[in-house]
Every structure is written in C-alpha cells, then in structure tokens.
Amino acid sequence: NASRLSAVRGEIVHFLADPAADPRALEHFADGVLIVRDGHVAECGPAAALLAKLPSGTPLADHRGRLILPGFVDTHVHYPQTDIIASHGEQLLEWLENYTFPAERRFADPAHAAEVAGFFCDELLRNGTTTAAAFATVHPASVEALFAAAQARRMRLITGKVLMDRNCPEFLRDTAETGYAESRALIERWHNRDRLLYAITPRFAPTSTPAQMALAGRLFREHPGVFLQSHLAENRAEVDWVARLHPEARSYLDVYERAGQLGMRALFAHCLWLDDTDRRRMAERGAAMSFCPTSNLFLGSGLFDLRRARALGVRVGLGTDVGGGTSLSMLQTLNEAYKVLQLGGQSLSAASGFHLATLGGAHSLYLDDRIGNFAPGKEADFVVLDPRATPLLARRSAGCTTLEERLFVLMMLGDDRVVAATHVMGVPM
C-alpha cells in the first residue's frame, strides 16, 4: 500500500514516564530500531526482533554507535533576540532597554523577520530541537514569518504576537484593542494549521495595561486549546516594580490570575521569586513553568527551585530563553540546569535531565500525547547524538561504564557538535 515506511538503527533512549516518579521510566535498547510510518512512530524495540519483520526494501539508516533520542523541546525562547545573544553587562530591565527593544524594533520589516526566522529554525534543528514555544515581537508580521519558517520545515512550533501597551518604547507599542484584534486574526489563521499552535503573548505584567491584561485573559478564555506565554518573577527589581504597579494583587502571579491568564497551556518563564502559595496555585490551575538556567545565570536573575516546583506538582519544562539565555543547545541548557541546582543544594540526574528536555517538556505543554517519546502513534521527531563527536567526549565516554554516566557526560560536555542528525516527522533535516 501507499504508507511510507522507514527505519533507523542505533542505541535508543526514551522515557515512558517521569524517572523521578518511576524508576522504570527510562526505556533503553542498546541495539535498537525505530520504525516510522507516514511520519509517526510505528514501533520501537530491539534490532534483532524488529529487523526480522521489516519489509524488504525498507530504507534503514544505520546509526550504530550513536544514540537516538526524542527531539528536544525548548519551552521558552525569543527568536527576535537571535542577533543580541551574548550582549554584555546588564540585568533584566536595563538589558531589555539597551539591547532587546532596539533589536525587536527591526521586526517591523517583514523581510528582516523572514530572514531571522529561517536562520532561527535552522539553528534549532542543528541543535536537535524539534519543538519550541517562542516569542515573536509586537509586529503581527513577525509571527507570520516564524510560522511560515517552521511550517516549511514541518516543525511543531508555538508562537504569538507580543502584547505590550505601556512601559516600553513608543515604537514597540500596540493598544489593548489592536493587540486583541491582531491576536485573534493570527489565531484564526495559524492555530492548529499543520503542527503550528498559537500562544497569546503578554510580554510580562509591567508592559501591559490592566485593560490589555484583561483582554489577553478574555482571548485565552475564548479560544480553548490556545496557549498563553509570559514571564513571571524573574528579577528582583522586576518583582518590586510589579508590586508597585499592582498594590491590589497578592503576588506577581496573582496579577496574571486576576486577569484570567492562569490555566492549562499557560506557560510562565523563570518563576524564581515565588512562594509556595503561588506554586500551589500554578499546580492547581495546570499552568507550567519554564526553567531557563543559562538566562538566569547570564542576567544574574536567581536560582530556580526545581525541588519545590516538583514537590507541589507544578508542570516544568526547560527553556533556553535566547537572547537572555546563552545557547540554543538543550544539552548546554541541561549543563547549566545541573549547576543551578547544585547551587541550591539540589541535583539533577541525567535521566531527569533528558526527561525534562523531551517528554517532561512535552508534558508541560500538554503535547505529550503527540511528542516526547517513541510510543506508537507519536510524531516521529528524533535526534541522533554522537558520543564521540569531540576528542574529549570520545575519551571521557570510553571511560564510562553505565548508561547514566554516558548520558551525564553528554549533558555536561555536549552541544551542537554532538547532534549528528535531526529528524522531523521521520525525515532528516
């Protein structure tokens, strides 16, 4: 029949559940085969069993000696900040004024937006990231550009127009009404088209009037299935500012909740300066946190408390937060996640790390029914990692005895150089 079959062979590692909760969550086939039918996982298992029943003539890519994992999920990143990554010397609010806003101004030009969007998507794929929740800018054309670039590459991508009608430069300002209308038009045009999903995107509480916050909440209510993404409690000066702007609110989180922005598919980056009431509220409402370690260290923002988030049952994913973050590599992001947690007297096993970068991220986005592991029927997004990509990696990996050790070395020393191939819907990119 017409169904298209292909297969890859290598060392397969994926998660059936959260390894923190279930010690048998990690599934490993030292010599494994992943069979893809029409872009979806047909089956995954030991090579000996699966090769025997593969119809003759099925294309088989041989990656023996390499690891095959589900594609990485970056739950927070800004594509318009690609060109200001690694800008020196400021914390959040000054960094936004001096670097971010001028860079985002250039996205008024659709040709610039298209060029950056293409580069950004290629760079995600080169790093093994197949799904991302990304900020665009205030310009609707910036959203069009990123959706078009992701669509051309068949990626799963969430983005939306930034809403921002106060406390920002005039040249980046919308209004409560235009922000609402433009977001609605983009939802109708793009949400659920191919693998694309829309996120209502109030930048953060300080840059939206109460009227705009309320309309963003209304949009979220009016469009079930649509996401909402924002920033929460990243920097202490920012938290103080929000407290001054919103004396009526119990906390920073409460500003979002009062505006109707807290719920399933609401995604908040950073979440550093929260209390347990906030964390409980997020868990109860089904909202997710995006842990962005390279950004939190680079901007001097603070240390994420993963143990507390987990203890209270909050969904957590991992984000690069480029350009506040310093790498689009989810491996480098795991490296710094480990160090952030060390500073907080916590730890991150390699299993928990790779779970966070794959199925855990998918779960935080309510996409774990479609991506995140190799369960039959899932979209076949995967990455092929070469544990011998550099002389040091080869040498250090050769000294490992357990899978956990080898994965830990990859997460600490790995970056884009270890990504041998990235497949989207089964197809190498």
Site residues, ligand GUN (CB under 6 A): 78, 92, 96, 100, 203-204, 231, 234, 295, 321, 324
3-state secondary structure of 396: helix
204 binds, among ligand GUN, Zn ion, none (CB under 5 to 8 A by kind): ligand GUN
Least distance CB 254 / Zn ion (angstroms)? 21
In this structure, are residues 185 and 147 in contact, taking their beta carbons and an 8 Å threshold?
no
User: Which range, of 44-52, 208-216, 278-286, 316-324, touches Zn ion by CB under 5 A?
Assistant: 316-324
In this structure, are residues 174 and 164 in contact, taking their beta carbons and an 8 Å threshold?
yes
Least distance CB 325 / ligand GUN (angstroms)? 8
159 binds, among ligand GUN, Zn ion, none (CB under 5 to 8 A by kind): none
Residue number, nearest CB to Zn ion: 321
Shorter beta-carbon distance to ligand GUN: residue 242 or 383: 242
328 binds, among Zn ion, ligand GUN, none (CB under 5 to 8 A by kind): none
Least distance CB 73 / Zn ion (angstroms)? 16
What is the C-alpha to C-alpha distance for residues 407 and 415, in angstroms, rounded to an integer? 13
User: Which range, of 52-60, 154-162, 216-224, 263-271, touches Zn ion by CB under 5 A?
Assistant: 263-271
Least distance CB 31 / Zn ion (angstroms)? 41
For residue 383, what are the β-bridge partners?
69, 422
What is the C-alpha to C-alpha distance for residues 100 and 267, in angstroms, rounded to an integer? 21
The one-letter amino acid code at 425 reads: M
What is the C-alpha to C-alpha distance for residues 185 and 174, in angstroms, rounded to an integer? 15
In this structure, are residues 117 and 173 in contact, taking their beta carbons and an 8 Å threshold?
no
70 binds, among Zn ion, ligand GUN, none (CB under 5 to 8 A by kind): none
Residue 305 is a binding residue for Zn ion (CB under 5 A): no
Among 68, 84, 187, 269, binds Zn ion (CB under 5 A): 269
Residue 100: its H or E element: none
Shorter beta-carbon distance to Zn ion: residue 165 or 321: 321
What is the C-alpha to C-alpha distance for residues 64 and 86, in angstroms, rounded to an integer? 36
Q: Which of residues 318-347 bind Zn ion (CB under 5 A)?
A: 321
Shorter beta-carbon distance to ligand GUN: residue 162 or 282: 162
In this structure, are residues 10 and 30 in contact, taking their beta carbons and an 8 Å threshold?
no
234 binds, among Zn ion, ligand GUN, none (CB under 5 to 8 A by kind): ligand GUN
Using alpha carbons, list the distances in angstroms from residue 215 to 60, 174, 219, 278.
Answer: 51, 13, 6, 23
Shorter beta-carbon distance to ligand GUN: residue 79 or 374: 79
**DSSP per residue over 325-355, as a string?**
SS-S-HHHHHHHHHHHHHHTT----HHHHHH
Binding site for Zn ion (CB under 5 A): 269, 321
